[in-house]
Amino acid sequence: MADTMIEADGLFKSYGQTRALAGVSFSVPAGSVLGLLGPNGAGKTTAVRILTTLALPDAGQARVAGIDVLAYPAGVRRQIGVAAQDATLDGLLTGRQNLVLVGELSGMRTGRARTRAAELLELFELAGAADRVVKGYSGGMRRRLDLAASLLTRPPVLFLDEPTTGLDPVSRQRVWEVIRDLTGSGVTLLLTTQYLDEADALADRIVVVNHGQVIADGTPRELKERSRSAHVEVTLAEPRPEAAGVIAPLVGGRVSVSDHGLRLSAAVDSASGLATAVVRALDQAGMLVDNIEVRQPSLDDVFFALTGAQNSGDNNGSGAKGTSAGQGGPGAGAAERESQGAQA
Ligand code: ATP
């Protein structure tokens, strides 16, 4: 087995005037999971399509399982399983028939394909629906069936393009478990996702793409460490437009203000003594603080910092370690669209 199972080397791809990839390179060591992260339109699917022989790059090279994707696409196809964003199932066949067909098309004998299909239907909790036609399946059931199809031939390299999009939380956890089992058994996996907690939970390394370029590469921990170390969030008792200006010198960075001006947040280098200093400064400026929270960075913070995307109010949850120094005021949990407030 090759040491590096997936290699993208300087991939370029344009669709008309749209540049989908502008020199993307990354590699995935055997038996590891790479999370390819990026906002909508970043180029993730295009990279996966090239690596899985479904699209040709304008320039650059790619190898999968040591095989040149451009020179020997058929050889690559024998080594990979792919669950694309658009499910490739036949709605008029049952779930079981779909899986058996995929197995047969991949060269499996019918008996083996049937046995493997039954195992996978069980694994993805579709056994009860196995003999119903797929057009009657929910979106989540189709997604799970599509994932099952990608595993049919037990390929050594798997590409899962946003595998849990559209799944309910229980199904999502189930898919995570299956992915963990797979990687424990030595499969090499490239996973695209927009869910940062998913990349955090499953990926050994993360490559962040934006506008067709790699903008960061590292383990989840390394990426968090590269970002500023903490985050402060203040909820005011009433909106005060001048509050961002009061806080800015203390946090030494950009202060975001929610639309209705009640919540302010900023990345900070050091959290020690910060809550006290912020509350004191606002108090001295005659502003009442309902709540202040200082927390360690989540992968969300890293992602938003890297991609320049605006943070949103409901990104506060995952993995946040909070130290609260306030009264837990109203509105602290409300989802708000944040807008840039002030630059230090
Ligand atoms: P998403 O998370 O929304 O799936 P993505 O990161 O997978 O996004 P891509 O699907 O690779 O992004 O798209 C990258 C860019 O290329 C986008 O601007 C997209 O509109 C464009 N693009 C992708 N495929 C095509 C196509 N077949 N024809 C024209 N433009 C395309």
What separation in Å is there between the alpha carbon of 41 and the centre of ligand 1? 5
Q: Is 306 helix (H, G, I), strand (E, B) or coil?
A: helix
Quick one: pLDDT at residue 175? 85
Ligand 1 lined by 45 (C-beta under 6 Å): yes
The token pair at 92 is 């008029």
Residues 6+ apart with CB under 8 A from 252: 268, 269, 344
What separation in Å is there between the alpha carbon of 320 and the centre of ligand 1? 32
What separation in Å is there between the alpha carbon of 42 and the centre of ligand 1? 7
What separation in Å is there between the alpha carbon of 282 and the centre of ligand 1? 45
| CATH number 1.10.150 is the correct assignment for the domain at 228-342 | no
User: Which of 37, 40, 196, 213 most suits a substitution to test ligand 1, by most atoms within 8 Å of the C-beta?
Assistant: 40
Nearest to 264 by CA among 277, 252, 254: 254
Within 13 A of 93's CA, how many CA atoms are on the CB side? 12
Predicted TM-score of the model (pTM): 0.72
Residue nearest to atom 10 of ligand 1 (CA): 45
Q: Where do the CATH 3.40.50.300 domains begin and end in the chain?
A: 4-224
Q: Kindly provide the residue ranges of all beta strands, DSSP E only, lying in the chain, ordered along the sequence.
A: 4-15, 18-29, 33-37, 59-64, 67-68, 80-83, 157-161, 188-193, 205-210, 213-218, 230-236, 255-258, 263-268, 289-295, 322-324, 338-342
Q: Which residue is it, tokens 């995935």? A: 28
**Residue 163 and residue 179 in contact, taking contact as beta carbons nearer than 8 Å:** yes
Nearest to 266 by CA among 242, 292, 237: 292
Residue nearest to atom 27 of ligand 1 (CA): 15
Q: Which residues pair with 26 in a beta bridge?
A: 8
Quick one: pLDDT at residue 119? 94
Quick one: pLDDT at residue 52? 94
Residue type, 298: S
The token pair at 234 is 């203040």
HEC secondary structure over 138-158:
CHHHHHHHHHHHHCCCCCCEE
Quick one: pLDDT at residue 321? 29
Q: Where do the CATH 3.30.70 domains begin and end in the chain?
A: 228-342
Residues 6+ apart with CB under 8 A from 15: none
What separation in Å is there between the alpha carbon of 209 and the centre of ligand 1? 12
Radius of gyration of the chain (CA): 24
Q: Which residues pair with 160 in a beta bridge?
A: 83, 191
Note down pLDDT in tens along the chain; length 344 residues. 678 999 999 999 999 999 999 999 999 999 999 999 988 889 999 999 999 999 999 999 999 999 999 999 999 999 998 887 776 788 899 999 999 999 998 888 999 999 999 999 998 889 999 999 999 998 888 888 988 998 888 899 999 988 888 788 888 888 888 888 888 788 999 999 888 888 888 999 999 999 999 999 999 888 876 765 577 899 999 999 899 999 988 887 788 888 788 999 987 766 668 888 899 999 999 999 999 988 766 677 777 777 765 333 332 333 322 323 333 332 323 222 233 333 33
For the chain, the residue count is: 344
Ligand 1 lined by 20 (C-beta under 6 Å): yes
Quick one: pLDDT at residue 339? 31
- In angstroms, rounded to a whole number, what is the distance separating the alpha carbons of residues 49 and 294? 41
CATH of 4-224, one of 3.30.70.20, 3.40.50.300, 3.40.50.1980, 3.50.50.60: 3.40.50.300
Quick one: pLDDT at residue 27? 96
- In angstroms, rounded to a whole number, what is the distance separating the alpha carbons of residues 207 and 15? 23
**Residue 162 and residue 192 in contact, taking contact as beta carbons nearer than 8 Å:** yes
